[in-house]
Amino acid sequence: MSDNIDKKQQEILREKALNYHSSPIPGKISVIPSKPCKQQDELSLAYTPGVAEPVREIARDPELAYKYTSKGNLVAVITDGTAVLGLGNVGALAGKPVMEGKGVLFKQFAGIDVFDLEVNAPSQESFIETVVNIAPTFGGINLEDIAAPHCFEIEKILKSRLDIPVFHDDQHGTAIIISAGLLNALEIQKKSLDKIKIVCIGAGSAGIASMRLLVALGIKKHQINLIDRKGVVHNGRKDLNIYKMEFATETDDRTLADAMQDADVLIGVSGANLVSAEMVAVMADKPIIFALSNPEPEIAPNVARAVRDDLIMATGRSDHPNQVNNVLGFPFIFRGALDVRASTINTQMEIAAVKALAQLAKLPVPEEVLQAYGMDSLTFGPDYIIPKPFDPRLMATVPPAVAQAAIDSGVARKPYRPFNFQIKY
């Protein structure tokens, strides 16, 4: 009976989603002029002959593109379609609804304009050249849904060749939100960052980037057991790429079940139902589980809680407490980077975002957030370790922290001046 109900609910959701994307007009984003163009004199300023004046100025000094065009507030959301959501290599065009969706979130949460670009790239090199060639249009590049391991090399090369922020959200956005939540969960569980044992299921872009950021925050690599499809990533294996080799440890653990023994933290960025109740039962006291596979987590919260009443749990879902959602990160990180015209988004800026998000969750929650989620109260604790996406304070908290980190680390090219944008939900 429940299977029939689930199938019916899925079909209802499917129809709602398709109708949402198709009506009243196809798609989710459009281009809206930011200047009036309703009279002859306005037309002559918007286009010929008036447009020649900013053209001459930019030809004389390319930096003036930031003054006379939308470049400084325009981000490319770009994909090759090789790893779209949990659907895999569906191709560039099929990824367009996701890229449009990212555009909606950039604009809704941080006032950033977006062009979405879906690239049919026969090779890694051709994708890189495409991005380099279109980069002058933009103030930043958000790479999206690009499969590992070539996503690492693509981002590395683009960051070296471009003087604007390049950010692969599947890597760094996920890593930042995980890290912010984990710092708070460890504080609640009274555990120290330098003494915990971490198991990470998933050695793709999100897993590798999250472990790298946790190392930057102070965790040692020997504290981490990285798990891929073949089991524990250990230094006796001969089948590891260079990215997995970063986290190959000296250990006798070979399976996920081995690694889970006495683990303090489980981070899942892999697939549904990979973790059993028995594995959770043998974790250390006061465990922390981030089961982030969507739509089905690595272990269902009710299954985990049935064997451990001392755990803190997060998922990627909105219908459970502690949703790890990248929208807490990328709009505000780019906002801070754009506001100081940063040449890159570096580790210092990522750590600043982590700490700003972690600190925000500890502050009293305003009434408007409670109303948005239909709650009477929300207090820092096991069921509230990271801010809610519809918290308007994110805009006033994360961008300034990121901007200051850019200034402090020497990658900012102008003083910080907050963007004039009011979030309206």
The 10s digit of each residue's pLDDT in 337-351 is 999 999 999 999 999
- State the CATH architecture for 172-425: 3-Layer(aba) Sandwich (3.40)
pLDDT band with cut points at 50, 70 and 90 for residue 4: low
Assess contact for 265 and 193: CB atoms under 8 A: no
Residue 295 has pLDDT above 90, yes or no: no
Q: Which two tokens stand for residue 149?
A: 């391991």
DSSP state of 211: H
Residue 1 has pLDDT above 70, yes or no: no
pLDDT tens-digit map of 170-219: 999 999 999 999 999 999 999 999 999 999 999 999 999 999 999 999 99
Residue 5 has pLDDT above 80, yes or no: no
Which one from 102, 159, 197, 388 is the annotated catalytic residue? 102
pLDDT tens-digit map of 351-388: 999 999 999 999 999 999 999 899 999 999 999 999 99
Domain range 22-171, CATH class: alpha beta
pLDDT band with cut points at 50, 70 and 90 for residue 74: very high
pTM listed for this prediction: 0.94
Q: Which two tokens stand for residue 379?
A: 């207090």
Which one from 7, 8, 16, 47 is the annotated catalytic residue? 47
Residue 10 has pLDDT above 60, yes or no: yes
Q: What is the pLDDT of residue 9?
A: 84
Assess contact for 356 and 398: CB atoms under 8 A: yes
Task: Decide if 47 is catalytic.
Answer: yes
Check the CA dihedral 251-255-259-261 and report its sign: negative
> Domain limits of the chain?
22-171, 172-425
Name the pairing type of β-strands 224-228 and 288-291. unpaired
Q: Which two tokens stand for residue 44?
A: 């002559």
Task: Decide if 388 is catalytic.
Answer: no
Domains 22-171 and 172-425 share a fold: yes
pLDDT band with cut points at 50, 70 and 90 for residue 424: low
